[in-house]
Every structure is written in structure tokens, then in C-alpha cells.
Structure 1
Amino acid sequence: MAKFVIRIRTKVGTWRMNDVEGKNKVSEIIARVEHDHNIKVGKVSLKQNYSEILSGDERLDKIGAKNGTMFFMEISGGTVVVGNTRRHLDEKGNVVIKGGDNKGIRPGLHALRDKKLHWTLTDMTELEDKYTYKITSDQTERCAKASLDVSACQSFQQYIGQMNYNTCRCGILYGKFVDSEAEAERKKEEEEAKTRRAANIGYGSTKKNMNLSDLEKKTKKEKGARQAVIVEAIYEPPQQGDDKTFTILEDPREAKVDAVAKSLGLTRVGFIVSHPASTDFVLNSTEICNAAEQSLEATQGERDSPFVVVRVTLNEERNVIFEPYTLTPLCLDMVAEGAIEPMLDNPSHCSVVAPFQAIVEMKEEHVIDNDFFVKSVPIVNHTSKVAGGSTKFPRFNRQFAEAPSAASMRTALKGLGRNPNPASLAKALSDFHLLVYLSEVFNLGEGLEDICKWVAKYAYREDEQAAVNLENLQEGYRVLIMSMAGLD
């Protein structure tokens, strides 16, 4: 029987459990969690509100558990152990630092003799450095600019507006990392230099001396961000939110959404969050930690990344604003190592988790201002190639809006007739969310990727002749699509 991974969500965070099989019982999962994290598990459910409590005798395959399934667990006990780190909870669910084992070099670490008998000064220094972070302002540009699709932003803004901008919400940004203008110019100069060397061509008397202005331009170009971000679509996963935070729920479409994006030549380039107007912070600690996890997952753990976090909120004049930021390598490293956690009662700061230590201006601090973790990015806009036509396809996972359906697909394809030409059909299908809806019929490896790649040839064509020369979509796919829309 194939093994898979499940996720365990508790009030202190989400854990992954590997090597799970369908024959395993819920009681076995509980036992593993209690053993691995030194806690007592109470209620277990597949529902975040615990409306349906699971019995310990139930097998995972009988309750529909599969790779990525989220289990919600109520836990008790004041201390959670993750590896060598001890995390203490206060009555509000915040992670706090308390004095740990006196035998350990740091609170929350086991005694040194538990690791090995003999320690050198170098060993001790390396151990100290491993758990110490020096917090400084980071002004390095990692993203030259973020270009957002106008219609995607309008749709996101309109939906949170229906909730009076009082509910936190998030979305995954799909698009492309591209060379910045400075990077494109650098590469052009490198290619020209290679061409001259290959042809043994020198500058001769035409080469001029570099003046101060030229030197400043060259220095600015070399220091500028090498990549920019183009956001083509926003996908909002299943979630629950209130006026303080949001919780991302299990998404049965996650793999299919990623497959649609990949087939279109897109990838995860950012994370968008909305929250009620606040002058206390740019991003709250929950948003920062969630965005950092999204960035690390999307970039395979890359710490120095142009991955953007877009903040949507109201300014003092009650106008909606979109502000992109990048997360600093320090932030990503601390989240990856479990060194910081959100603070529910002080959202403008992150809590430092023992045994880690944060040094700010030569002084140890137990909380860190979120402003140390973000760097603003210039914003521009464009029209996405997969934004759809004038009638936008409904978005998924919106409780107070129209859901994607055959009727909405019929609206998107109306006027094509039963045998549309390739360019007309491809144009109608050039909507990211409509293509995700096709996954209701077309499974992974069974046509979904082929259809998306065919659409991408049209949407991202280099010239209009490519649209004229576009080959027909496979007949079986075309018939099924028209049938889904009720146009067969």
C-alpha cells in the first residue's frame, strides 16, 4: 500500500506526518503525535470547527484521507517539543519564552552532555551562532518591481469589499519571475562583449574614458535587483477568516491548480493578504509567517528570493491600496528554523522561540518588530494573458459569491457555435480560473495539461500569425469542453 503525507493542525502550528498508510487507524496517528511532540491529544476532526469528531478506531482510507489531508487536533499541556526546541503556551495560545532546563546551554535545549562528552571552544561558538540572530535593517532590493493584473486585483478587492474590508483573506499569486531592466541590460552587454572577443574586435580609439556619471550608472545597475515579478492570476484557497487572521484549509484542487499554472508557463511568485485598516503594522505576524512558508515552499527553500507579498487594505482616506513587499532572508531563515512565531495579542511583532535568541542593537529582545522582515517593492499594472474575456469566470472558494459552474462556463463560451475555429476557442479558454474548472472533468495526466499548453500557445503567442496558424485542439477534448458548457 502506497505511503503518503498528512498534515496536523493545532493551536501552535501545522506539522507534517510522513509514511502514513490507509490502513493506519486514527488512534495510531494520535499516538505518533503525542510521542513526537510530548503533548496530550483531545478531539480529532477533519473539520476545523470540530463538527464531526473522529473515532480512534476509524481507518484513514475509510474516512477519505489521502496525501495532504489536514487533521485538526485539540491539544493540552503547556509545553510542545519540536526536535530540541521547547515551546510554551500561555492561556491565549501565544508562544512565550520561559526558563528551561538548567542543564542546557539555552532554555529549551537538552544538556550538552546529552549530545557529546567533550566540547571545544569552537564547538561552543558554532552552537551559539546557530541559535543567535542579529536583527538589522535590510535595504537590499530583491525584486525590481511587481506588475499586477488589473482584473485580478479588482476581483479580489470587490470581494473583500463585500465584507466591508473587515475580514482577513489571502490568495496565491501565479505568474513569472523575469529579468529586470537592469539585468536585461547587463546580459546584453555580456553578449556584446562575448561577440567582440570572439571576433577579436577591440574598442580602439572609439572607447571613451568613464566619467563619474557613467560610474554611478554602472554601480546602480550592478546593485539593482536582478528579477521582477509579473502576476498573471490570483487563486484563493479554501480558508476561514475573521478581523484578526485567516486559516488556510485543506484544498482538494491544490495539485490541479499548480498543474494548470505550470502548463501555462506560470509558477507561484507571491502571496496576497488583506486585513482591516491598521496603522500599527504593514503585515501582521500571522501574515508574515504564512507568507514566509508560502515563499519557502514555492522556491524550494530559497532565502534570497524576489517572491512578493502583496498587502491589500484601506488607507486613512478609506481608499483601497495594494502594496507589494519582499521578505528578507533573515525572516525566511527564522521561519524555516522555527525561530519565530506569530503573536495573537501583539500582531505588529513576532515572538522569538526558545532556544533561539534575537539581538537588536546589541540587546537581546524576546519580540521582533515586523518592519525588520519586509522591504517595499515598486508596483505597476498590466493586463494578464489569461485574465479571460469581458465576462470574468467566477472565483473558487468564495462563500458570498457565485461559484464556478456549467452555467458560468456556458456564458464564457457563448457565441462560439458548435465548431469554433481554434483561435476563437483558445481565446475563450484563456482564463486561469476557467481552466482550473476544467479539472472537474479532465484529471491530471488525462488531458488537463494538454489543453492548458494549447491555450498557452495562443495566449502567449509572439505575433498574430501564431494565432492564425494555431492547430486544432484534439477533437475529444473539444467535444468534452463544449459538453461541459451544454453547447454540444
Structure 2
Amino acid sequence: MSRIGVLRIRSQMGTWRVKDIDGAMTVRELMDRVATEKSLSLSENERLCASPSGSDPLPLDAGLASLNVKHGDMLYIMLTEENQVAHEEAKAPRKVDADGNVRAQEYADGAGRRGFRPGMLPLRAMKMQWTLTDFLDMDARFVFKMKRQEDAACAGVDMETNVARDFQQALRQTAFQQCRVGYLYGTFTDDNKVKVKCLYEPPQRGTAVDVELLEDPREDTVEKLAALLGLRRVGWIFGHPPREEGFHFASPEVFMAAEQQLEAAGGIGDTPFVTIKVTCNAEGLASVEGFQVSKQCMEMVAEGALEIGENPGDCAVNETFTAIVEGKEAKEVNNNFFLINVAISQYEADDMVYSFPVANREELGTTQGQPDLRAQIESAGKQGWCVAQNLTLTRSLSLTLNPKP
């Protein structure tokens, strides 16, 4: 079989010249050689093609000569992002580490120098030709000019009195020295208000600093029960020990609020979904406040522009992004910048039962059992919870979730 000589392989990483090609070589063997020389791990979807569109992959077991491949021909391959990074690492310059060993410089070591932005590929790896407009548009996607949002999307919160009181009581059992969270269920009104009717506390392990949410085998059941009762998740509530003045949210709490709002809005958009914060002051008096995070905060969390940094009162800015605060680049953004106050009022529901023990409070000494269920059923009397013509129905999730007969 005749000798072909040199072939050119075009990918997002540029054009490679592969020498000493024999016509008897198969497409599979050529791909194996390219993978070896360029430190790639090619998947079955990364195939050599005759055209740039990638619509005509070459048969893997066909010989190059039988495909009329000639010296100097150009073949094409579309690489995955993982292989693009692997190739960048393979061709990186050498460096001497702290132990005196010579090794290849890692991709992250040189990304800030060669990449479009730290942690990103070089411009040429994204596409071969750039205009100034292309560059500026691309760069603008990674720059956030910080702006305060004056008005919340939530017009206010009507909080059922027993829900607020019961959550405070759980915090008082630990003298407000343990963080705790719960999900609020109720309805959104036509005027963008939230009406909170009940609370569900998932399994959790709280400390004086944060809360670890544990696996909840009843998570789907809670959502289905809420839907059957005409309720939905309308917010979340968290409690924490007293903090220094002006320190309202720690970074994980900002992230939680943003992620919950993103889920409720189905993306970066307006939603009444609310965050309720409960704590106490130096005199032991409890405070209950409502908040939302800004849409800019939602966008930055969704894009990965924010990170949890060393200072709990600030969100760190990911090195790939730029945050401009008052005309200057900032590596951190104070959490208060993202917060918008939401007014809270309280009411007493006439269709709720709150005397049944709350679920998932075993570490606080609260348990649920058959005696509790029996007492709750007996308290309803012969009429049950459907009273006269008012058709008043119990909507206690803790009671409905109780698995005991």
C-alpha cells in the first residue's frame, strides 16, 4: 500500500500535523495515534470527519487509502471540553516543584496567563477569529456592576402566629445557641404576597455556626401532601445565635436564599418566595424578619460568580468573574448588599391544628407516637375537623406525615 505522508487534523485547539502516515493505516489507528500524541482520551462521539460540519464521520475500520485520503488532506474532529483541557495541560511548560522535581505545569498554573480569564480556555481555543465587538460582548458576560435592589418582588408576608411561635420555641430549647432551618408552606396571593400556613423541618444537625441538612426519605411525600392540601413551598426560615450588629446573613444563607428563589422562579426572575430569619438580641428578646435576595444575587449564584469565602459576612467573587463595587473591582461583596427587607404581619388561621408534635425534633427531645396521634384524633370529637358549614380542615403536615396507625 502506498505511503500517504502528512495529514492535517483540525480541532478547536488548532491544526495538528501528523507525519509518516501509511495508506494501510485505518481511521481507528489514526485516531489512536492522535490521542497518544496529544494526550487525549477520545470517546465514541469524538470521530474524525471529512468535513468541518462533522456530519460525515469516517468508518473506523476503513483504510485511509481506500477513503482516497491523500498527502496534505485536512480531517476534522470536534473535541469535548475535557479533552481541550487535557490537551492544554499536556503542552504546558515544565516547572520545578518545591521538592526539586521537574514536572509539567498544571493547566490552572498557566490559565490566568493564557486563558481569556482565569480558569478559562484561551480565546483561540473557543473560536479562531474574534472581532472587538465579539471580545467586548464576551467579556461583559463575566463583569457584574453591583447595584442595590430597592424593592422586593414579595409585597409582604402574612405569617401564621403559631408557626412563628413554635419555631422560636425550638430555638429557645437550645437558648438560641444552635442554628435551625425549616420550609414554609402556604400560598402566593395575586398581589405578590406570601401567606404562610405551616412549617416542615427536615432532618438536620445544627451547630452554633451552621446547619447540615441530612437525607430526608420523606421529602417527596411532603411536597405531594402539600399539593393535595392546596399548599406549596413559599419560603424558608432559619434561626441562629445572636450575631454582631449589622451581620444578618452568612454566606451559606445567602446561597440558600438565592437557590431557593431560583427554584421557585424557574430561573432568574421575580418570585414572592421569602426568607424568614429568627434570632434574639442581647436581652433574649426574639426578632423575626423577612428578606429576599436581589435578582443580581440570583444571577451571580446561578452563573457561579459567587463563592463561600473565609469571611462569613461576605461572598467571595470567583476569579473568573469581576465584581465592580462603587467603581472599583472587589474580591468580596458584603452580604447585606444583596438583601431586601420584606414586611411581616401575623394572623391566626382558623383551619389549622398545631398541637401535634413537630417532626424531626428528636435531638430536642420531641418525639411522635401513637399516644400523640390518639390524643389528636380524640380532640376532634364526633365532628372531626370538618366543622359545620365552614368545612374547616386540619392542615398540619406533622400530623399528616405521622406513619403510626
Give the TM-score, by structure 2 length: 0.68
Deviation at 1:100, TM superposition (A): 4.0
Deviation at 1:272, TM superposition (A): 0.8
8 Å CA contact 1:98, 1:107 repeated in 2: no
Q: Which has the higher contact order (CA 8 A, sep 6+)?
A: 1
Cα distance change, pair 420–318 in 1 and its aligned pair in 2 (3 A): closer
Name 2:163's counterpart in structure 1.
152
SS, match of residue 112 in structure 2: coil
Give the residue type in structure 1 aligned to 2:367.
A
Give the residue type in structure 2 aligned to 1:402.
T
Could you tell me which of 217, 233, 242 is aligned with 2:198? 233
8 Å CA contact 2:357, 2:366 repeated in 1: yes
Deviation at 1:427, TM superposition (A): 5.4
Deviation at 1:421, TM superposition (A): 5.8
Cα distance change, pair 346–415 in 1 and its aligned pair in 2 (3 A): closer
Indicate yes or no: 2:306 matched with 1:340. yes
8 Å CA contact 1:327, 1:374 repeated in 2: yes
8 Å CA contact 2:264, 2:271 repeated in 1: no
Indicate yes or no: 2:371 matched with 1:412. no
1:105-116 equivalent positions in 2, closer than 5 A: 105-116=116-127
8 Å CA contact 2:152, 2:294 repeated in 1: no
1:313-328 equivalent positions in 2, closer than 5 A: 313-328=279-294
Aligned partners of 2:291, 2:333: CA distance in 1, in Å?
Answer: 18
SS, match of residue 303 in structure 1: coil
Aligned partners of 1:428, 1:309: CA distance in 2, in Å?
Answer: 27
Deviation at 1:318, TM superposition (A): 2.2
Aligned partners of 1:342, 1:374: CA distance in 2, in Å?
Answer: 16
Indicate the structure (1 or 2) with the bigger Cα radius of gyration: 2
Name 2:364's counterpart in structure 1.
400
Deviation at 1:403, TM superposition (A): 2.0
Give the residue type in structure 2 aligned to 1:405.
G
Aligned partners of 1:377, 1:280: CA distance in 2, in Å?
Answer: 17
| Count of aligned positions | 298
Give the residue type in structure 1 aligned to 2:295.
P
Deviation digits for residues 148-171 of structure 1 (CA, Å, limit 9, x no counterpart): 111111111011111110111111
8 Å CA contact 1:387, 1:432 repeated in 2: no
8 Å CA contact 1:175, 1:269 repeated in 2: yes
Aligned partners of 1:304, 1:159: CA distance in 2, in Å?
Answer: 32
Cα distance change, pair 327–99 in 1 and its aligned pair in 2 (3 A): farther
Indicate yes or no: 2:272 matched with 1:261. no
1:332-411 equivalent positions in 2, closer than 5 A: 332-343=298-309, 345-385=310-350, 387-388=352-353, 392-398=355-361, 399-411=363-375
Deviation at 1:423, TM superposition (A): 2.0
Give the residue type in structure 1 aligned to 2:155.
A
Aligned partners of 2:225, 2:127: CA distance in 1, in Å?
Answer: 50
8 Å CA contact 1:143, 1:228 repeated in 2: yes
Deviation digits for residues 293-325 of structure 1 (CA, Å, limit 9, x no counterpart): 122223322432221111111124320000001
Which runs of no fewer than 5 residues in structure 1 stay unpaired? Answer: 1-34, 36-80, 85-96, 181-226, 442-483
SS, match of residue 296 in structure 1: helix
Name 2:88's counterpart in structure 1.
none
Aligned partners of 1:98, 1:374: CA distance in 2, in Å?
Answer: 36
Indicate yes or no: 2:319 matched with 1:308. no
8 Å CA contact 2:111, 2:121 repeated in 1: no
Cα distance change, pair 159–377 in 1 and its aligned pair in 2 (3 A): same
Deviation digits for residues 366-388 of structure 1 (CA, Å, limit 9, x no counterpart): 10011111100111001235530
Which runs of no fewer than 5 residues in structure 2 stay unpaired? Answer: 1-40, 42-81, 86-107
Give the TM-score, by structure 1 length: 0.57
SS, match of residue 269 in structure 2: coil
Aligned partners of 1:271, 1:232: CA distance in 2, in Å?
Answer: 12
8 Å CA contact 1:232, 1:385 repeated in 2: no
Cα distance change, pair 350–99 in 1 and its aligned pair in 2 (3 A): farther
Aligned partners of 2:247, 2:225: CA distance in 1, in Å?
Answer: 35
1:11-90 equivalent positions in 2, closer than 5 A: none
Deviation digits for residues 440-475 of structure 1 (CA, Å, limit 9, x no counterpart): 37xxxxxxxxxxxxxxxxxxxxxxxxxxxxxxxxxx
